[in-house]
Amino acid sequence: MAVHPITITGEPVLHRRAQPVEAFDDELRTLIADMFETMDVANGVGLAAPQIGVGLRIFVYGMENDDGVAARGVLVNPTLVTSKVPGSDPDPDEESEGCLSVPGEAFPLKRADWARVSGFDGDGAPVEFEATGWFARCMQHEYDHLDGKLYVDRLDNRQSRKAKKALKNHGWGVPGLTWMPGVDPDPFGH
């Protein structure tokens, strides 16, 4: 297993739709193991392949939940169906989200409270479950990465202005920027 650098917003692979996985082989299983290792060293709860520069439809997660779903898993070529996203303003104390590709920042965002996720594991076996609460938020966040969206792309106008200012102040939004978990300081202070 190997830890990979995490791409920062502005890297093209983060902003385009990822391609479906076509082969469930040892190369895929190695990539998945590397993704778990990278997520763990980065203290993340999810990591999508585009976040390590790989434009494939894969994400891993490591998050306790109340839905009877294993706390660690992988989704290959997933689909996602959600309940309606509430129209109210997000609560900055209860609904702030962060992202390893927008390191150290967090902004409030409304998400659906429920999601049905289906796809395949690393061996090609079908996986399907329902997620609620923060686990549903995690599934939506990681799935968005596979469609070339970051959570900052979904912010309301007020929060979007704040995010754009923060990204500009960091010098992000251009290709070639990464950070290395386990080497660079943890941007979220874990």
Answer yes or no: 142 catalytic: yes
From 37, 97, 105, 142, active-site residue:
142
3-class DSSP state of 187: coil
CA 28 to chain centre: 18
Whether 138 has a binding-site annotation, put simply, is: no
Round to whole Å and give the CA distance between 147 and 166. Answer: 23
Whether 99 has a binding-site annotation, put simply, is: yes
Closest to 78 measured CA to CA, from 48, 114, 45, 110? 48
Task: Evaluate whether 114 touches 82 at the Cβ level (below 8 Å).
Answer: yes
Round to whole Å and give the CA distance between 152 and 173. Answer: 12
Q: Between β-strands 178-179 and 58-62, what pairing exists: parallel, antiparallel or unpaired? A: unpaired
- With vertex at residue 20, the alpha carbon angle to CA 85 and CA 36, rounded to the nearest 5 degrees, is 75
Task: Evaluate whether 57 touches 146 at the Cβ level (below 8 Å).
Answer: yes
Q: Which residues define the annotated binding site for Fe cation?
A: 99, 141, 145
Residue positions annotated with a catalytic role: 142
User: Which residues fall in the annotated binding site?
Assistant: 99, 141, 145
